[in-house]
């Protein structure tokens, strides 16, 4: 909110600077016209020496006006540019924070919605593979109930770390879109590769040490995964992948199913 308010003030500052510049142009034109009128009057009087003096004075005045305006505008716009640069940095930080899940450091639902729309557009153009994994943690409620929500938060953070170790491409978008629901959007990834990654994730999560010793509650992850079909819309693709997730959950903890 603060950054956006500052942006509005900055834009009004731009308007004000332009207004000042326009007024300076008007004043400069007026001063120039006055000097030129004096030169014309001197010429009309046929006073050769006076004409020379008036011309030199007019030139000096015009140069001074131009130099003063240039210096003022340069200083003004330099200050404005510095302020805009700071503001751009602040707005980028705000944008990242607004698209980041605080607990896990992954993208949030907002980031996912933007990323998947762009990915589908690029897929429509390039026809390169594009895969999606929807993941749901098993056993988180039991941990929250028995050990408390801080323990559950720790599990979520550890799971996010596991995601980052499995999905290594810079273009992969990893997001937490709900309490224990996560999504991985994988540009350039075929269904076969998505299957290997999903199974690796299931194995890694199953191997996670319990929080309260060997007898403590454990978690698992169910995964529904798919590759987008040519011409398939977002709603259809999501529904198909989500159905695979529910089928995996119906078959038991720690499974990955293809759509």
Does the active-site annotation cover 180? yes
Residue in 101, 136, 172, 180 annotated catalytic: 180
H or E, element range at 136: strand 130-138
Q: Is residue 29 within 8 Å of 113, Cβ to Cβ?
A: no
Q: Is residue 62 within 8 Å of 35, Cβ to Cβ?
A: yes
Instruction: List, in sequence order, every residue forming a beta bridge with 136; answer none if it has no partner.
Output: 181, 222
**What is the DSSP track for 52-114?**
HHHHHHHHHHHHHHHHHHHHHHHHHHHHHHHHHHHHHHHHHHHHHHHTB-TTTSSB-HHHHHH
Q: Is residue 120 within 8 Å of 130, Cβ to Cβ?
A: yes
Residue 137 DSSP symbol: E
Q: Is residue 72 within 8 Å of 13, Cβ to Cβ?
A: no
CA 227 to chain centre: 26
Give the 3-state secondary structure of 197-259: HHHHHHHHHHCCCCCCCCCCCCCEEEEEEEECCCCCCHHHHHHHHHHHHHHHHHCCCCCEEEC
Rg of the chain, C-alpha, whole Å: 33
Residues catalogued as catalytic: 180
């Amino acid at each position: 909110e603060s950054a956006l308010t500052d942006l509005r003030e900055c834009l009004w500052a731009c308007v004000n600077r332009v207004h000042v510049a326009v007024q300076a142009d008007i004043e400069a034109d007026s001063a120039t016209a006055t000097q030129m009128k004096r030169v014309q009057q001197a010429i009309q009087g046929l006073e050769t020496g006076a004409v020379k003096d008036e011309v030199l004075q007019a030139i000096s005045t015009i140069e001074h006006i131009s130099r003063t305006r240039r210096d003022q505008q340069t200083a003004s716009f330099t200050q404005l540019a510095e302020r805009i640069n700071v503001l751009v940095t602040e707005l980028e930080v705000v944008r990242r924070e607004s698209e980041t899940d605080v607990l896990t450091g992954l993208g949030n639902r907002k980031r996912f919605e933007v990323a998947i729309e762009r990915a589908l557009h690029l897929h429509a153009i390039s026809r390169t593979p594009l895969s999606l994994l929807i993941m749901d943690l098993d056993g988180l409620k039991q941990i929250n109930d028995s050990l408390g929500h801080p323990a559950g938060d720790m599990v979520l953070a550890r799971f996010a770390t596991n995601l980052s170790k499995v999905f290594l491409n810079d273009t992969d978008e990893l997001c937490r879109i709900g309490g224990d629901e996560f999504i991985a959007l994988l540009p350039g990834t075929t269904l076969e590769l998505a299957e290997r990654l999903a199974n690796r994730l299931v194995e890694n999560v199953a191997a996670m040490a319990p929080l309260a010793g060997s007898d403590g509650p454990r978690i698992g992850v169910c995964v529904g995964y798919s590759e987008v079909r040519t011409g398939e819309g977002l709603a259809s693709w999501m529904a198909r992948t989500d159905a695979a997730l529910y089928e995996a959950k119906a078959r038991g903890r720690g499974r990955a199913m293809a759509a």
